[in-house]
Amino acid sequence: MDINYLQGSGPCLRYQAKLKSKAQKISNYFWKANKNQFEGNNKPDLSYTDLVLDTQGSVSPSKIKTFKSKMSRPKKLRTYIPEDRLDISPSELLKTDKNILLVGKPGIGKTALTHEMLKLWAERDNKELDYMFYFDMRATPHIRKTKSLEDLLFIVFSEPDEGKEEVLQDIKKNSGNVTLIFDGITDLSSSVVKRLVEKDLLPDAKVIITCRPDDEEDFLSGDFLRVEVKGFSEQTIKKYLSATLGEEQEKVLSNLELLTLCYVPMYALMVALGFSSETPEDSPQPCTVTEIYINIVRRCLQTISKKTKTKDLNSFINNKSEEILSLAEFAFKATVEKTVNLTELPCEDSCVLSFLKTSYQSGPH
């Protein structure tokens, strides 16, 4: 970094460099975690794949329902895949001065988009001193207990190696050079986050929020640019499947049910994982979301139990059915409460409990 054209003290510049290094690591870890789900030596080199981003609002659910009901099933299925549009790109989102609300269903690519912005910020050649902070609201529940801006930035995210007070004062004085990403936010129960979103703290900072449609009314205001993340277009689905499956992609592209599932990046990864794994020739590939999830659960249980044969795996599941169902019920309640933090687990079986770690790592954010 050439400090000759950057204005700011040494501690501030070095803190910016530290933040960029961490942003790069966060982004790399995200894609590596997805890549490592594939078995063998032919793991795809995954990175950000273009998403359809809509800044023009959305059609009301009632209109969609009436419109689709007149279609044949094949045409109806294809309406789920969004059309290519050039509304805005991650780099343009990074450049805009507006606060941004990224809205979309689970698994649609909101987190992937924020990681791409992290990567772009870490790699760009800044001609000004600026700071970017990323908070995964699902993985850092202790944010709710954070009492001050300093604790949020320096304890929860990253602490300066030197000149902490000097850096903090620069952030407060030049808040227009600060970008804050709150990924997977569901409420404003954190007083510090609430004050940042409502501009009581760092009034000129750029705030980027990702949330599901059910939660967006709590955050959307005239100061936010609403961007709906719609997933993969058909062209992007083909690009993604080509990278993950190669010639095997034709098995997915020729199946309309599977193809239309893949507009959701999370399901595209699940489908790619299913086809990349060795399966008996007489075993049909999943064609519904439910079947995909069942395959993933079986695969995770197979990993922890080390039962490679179908007969042995079925026997293991039958023997552990009570513990698995108890854990499933507990996980369902946590899902309803919009949390992935499972405490006071009802199951004490270490083998079944290890399924949690395996299954959490198997699913993309």
Domain of 67: which CATH number?
A: 3.40.50
Q: What is the pLDDT of residue 33?
A: 87
Q: Where is the domain boundary, 229, 249, 264?
A: 229
> Is there a single domain that holds both residue 89 and residue 203?
yes
| Last-in-domain residue among 197, 229, 261 | 229
Q: What per-residue confidence (pLDDT) applies to 316?
A: 83
> Which of 201, 229, 257 is the last residue before a domain boundary?
229
Residues 143 and 24 in one domain: yes
| Residue 174 shares a structural domain with residue 254 | no
Do 224 and 239 fall within a single domain?
Answer: no
In this prediction, residue 7 carries a pLDDT of 55
Residues 241 and 309 both lie in one domain: yes
Cα(151)–Cα(22) distance, integer angstroms: 17
Together in a domain, 223 and 246: no
Assigned domain for 5 exists: no
Q: Which of 53, 139, 128, 60 is nearest to 91 (CA)?
A: 53
* Residue 253 within a domain: yes
Same domain, 255 and 179: no
Find the largest Cα–Cα distance for the chain.
68
Cβ atoms of 225 and 96 closer than 8 Å: yes
**356 located within any domain:** yes
For residue 3, being part of any structural domain is answered with: no
In this structure, the dihedral spanned by the alpha carbons of residues 69, 72, 75 and 78, taken in order and rounded to 10 degrees, is 60
Q: How far apart are CA 204 and CA 180, in angstroms?
A: 11
In a domain, 317, yes or no: yes
Tell me whether residue 132 is in a domain. yes
Residues 135 and 283 in one domain: no
Residues 244, 224, single domain; the answer is: no
**Residue 232 identity (one-letter amino acid):** F
Domains: count for the chain: 2
Are 298 and 313 part of one and the same domain?
yes
Q: Digits of tens for pLDDT over the chain (365 positions)? A: 444 445 567 999 999 999 999 999 999 999 998 888 887 667 888 889 999 999 886 543 433 444 445 677 777 778 888 988 777 899 999 999 999 999 999 899 999 999 999 999 999 876 789 999 999 988 777 788 888 999 999 999 999 999 999 999 999 999 999 999 999 988 888 899 999 999 999 999 999 999 988 888 877 666 789 999 999 999 999 999 999 988 888 888 888 888 998 999 998 998 888 777 655 554 566 667 777 777 777 777 777 777 767 778 888 888 878 877 887 787 787 777 766 555 566 555 555 555 555 444 444 33
The answer to the question of residue 190 being in a domain is yes
Domain that holds residue 42: 10-229
Q: What is the pLDDT of residue 283?
A: 59
Task: Note whether 328 and 272 are same-domain residues.
Answer: yes
99 and 148 housed in the same domain: yes
Decide the pairing of beta strands 53-54 and 224-229.
antiparallel
What local confidence, expressed as pLDDT, does residue 360 receive?
42
Answer yes or no: is 125 within a domain: yes
